[in-house]
Structure 1
Amino acid sequence: MLPWIELDRATIPGEDGTLRLKQRGQEFSIMLGPIELMNSRLSGSEEALATFSCERLAGRSAPTMLIGGLGMGFTLRAALSALPADAKVTVAELVPAVVDWARGPMAEVHKGTLDDPRVDIHVGDVGALIRSKKAAYDAILLDVDNGPDGLTRASNDSLYSLTGLRAAWQALRPRGVLAVWSSAPDAAFTRRLRDAGFQAEEKHVRANGKRGGARHVIWMAAKR
């Protein structure tokens, strides 16, 4: 078996953690310490995050979408394949190196999606971007950290707090959709979504789609 090779490291702004990009043959992994955050062979649940959201946007003219977290680009790629030509997608990525990796060693994984004319890359905190907007998006997709129970950045907790969810509600247009990826269920988070004014539905998906893998959760929350 081929050995893993570490290609790069990147600090997480405002935190002590360090992300590591590793490669083994055509496979890539982004690690936080001993924990694998994402792997290029496992894309099913990230793609589902976009697919479910785009289904809710069907028929809307010039839909606007905010994706929190670039990662390995699976959510972005799935969204672009389903959205119309007049859509606008903003991707907020906190760690600049993750964008550099997408254009560099992982360019084949991202397949040119960052150069799509519908896409704008925002290097910065998605929470701050959400708080700065009012009725700006038809959909907000959050694949930040490990979900509501974060691992990489303590300040991510505010994104999933009642205050953070109310900010997302304000940033959405009428009938807007908030979609949240998580590695595990969280009943308290479902209650917070409803308290923030969303009609929430919890969907269970597999990390590698129909091929199985770990069980992940996606919340689809419609603005009431």
Structure 2
Amino acid sequence: MIPWVHIDTAAIPKDGGTLKLMRRGSEFSIQLGQNELMNSRLSGSEEALAQLACGRVSARPSPRILIGGLGMGFTLRAALAALPERAEVVVAELVPAVAAWARGPLSEIFGGILDDSRVRLHETDVAAPIAEATGTFDAILLDVDNGPDGLTHPGNDRLYDHAGLGQARRALRPGGVLAVWSAHPDAAFTRRLRDAGFAVEEVLTRANGRRGGTRHRIWLAEKPTGGGRR
């Protein structure tokens, strides 16, 4: 068997630990400690995150999308495929090295999607553009952890608590969608989404898409189109 080769290590800001970029032949893996966060062979559920969320807003004249987490670009690629030419996709990536990997060792996987005129890549915590926005985004896609908890960065917990969900709701336009990827179920998070005023749908998907693989889930939380809280 071809052995894994350690390509690079990246520190997560604010003492969040370190990420390792590994390669085995044509396969890449990004790991945090003993946890594999993503693998280049398994992109189905990340693509589903974008397809499900963007599919709900793609008919809007100029949809504006915020993606939290660049990863290996699977969510971004699927979003671009689902959105019209007049769309804008803002990607917030906390770890600068991950953005550098996209143009370096992972450039074959990315295939130039960062050069798409619709893409705006910012090296920042996704919590920042969410907190700054009011009725700005048609969809917010979060794939920054293995679920609604701060695995890769403890500060991410605030994205999923009551205050963070309230900020996400304010950042969305009426009828906008907050989509959250997770490797595991979380009934308490579903309740928090509903408490925050979202209409919630939970979708099961597979790590390898139609070819199967581990079960993952995606929350689709829609902001009401009128009345109620802002």
Which bracket does the TM-score occupy, shorter chain normalised?
A: over 0.9
Structure-2 residue corresponding to 1:31 = 31
Q: Give yes or no for the alignment of 1:52 onto 2:52.
A: yes
What letter matches 1:111 in structure 2? G
TM-score (norm 1): 0.98
Shift of 1:150: 3.0
Deviations 1:38-82 (A, max 9, x none): 000000000000000121013210100000000000000001011
Structure 1 partner of 2:201:
201
| Residue type of the alignment partner of 2:144 | V
Residue-by-residue CA offset, 1:102-148 (whole Å, 9 max, x unaligned): 01000011111111000000101001220011111000000011121
Give distance in 1, aligned partners of 2:16 and 2:66: 27
Question: What are structure 2's unaligned runs of at least 5 residues?
Answer: 225-230
3-state DSSP of counterpart to 1:146: coil
TM-score normalised by structure 2 residue count: 0.96
- Tell me, what secondary structure is at the counterpart of 2:56? helix
Q: Which residue of 1 is the match for residue 162 of structure 2?
A: 162
Give the distance between the partners of 1:33 and 1:204, measured in 2 at CA: 27
Shift in Å at residue 212 of structure 1? 0.8
- The 1:63–1:26 alpha-carbon spacing in structure 2 relative to 1, beyond 3 Å, is same
- CA-to-aligned-CA distance 1:133-176 (integer Å, 9 cap, x gap): 11110000000111213311111111111100000000001111
Match for residue 96 of structure 1? 96
User: What is the SS of the residue equivalent to 1:139?
Assistant: strand
The count of residues paired between Structure 1 and Structure 2 equals 224
- Partners of 2:58 and 2:82 within 8 A in 1: no
Distance 2:15 2:209 in 1: 32
User: What are the equivalent positions in structure 2 for 1:1-224 lying under 5 Å apart?
Assistant: 1-224=1-224
Structure 1 residue 16: Cα displacement: 4.2
Give distance in 2, aligned partners of 1:155 and 1:124. Answer: 13
CA offsets 1:7-55 (integer angstroms, 9 cap, x no match): 1000000024100001111100001111111000000000000000121
Question: Identity across aligned pairs (percent)?
Answer: 65
Give, in whole Å, the separation in 2 of the partners of 1:130 and 1:147: 18
Distance in 2 (alpha carbons) for counterparts of 1:43 and 1:6: 21
Decide whether the 8 Å contact of 2:58 with 2:84 is kept in 1.
Answer: no
- C-alpha deviations, 1:166-199, integer Å up to 9, x for none? 0000000111111000010100000100111100
Do the aligned partners of residues 134 and 16 (structure 1) sit closer, same or farther apart at CA in structure 2, a change above 3 Å counting? closer
Q: Partner amino acid for 1:171?
A: A
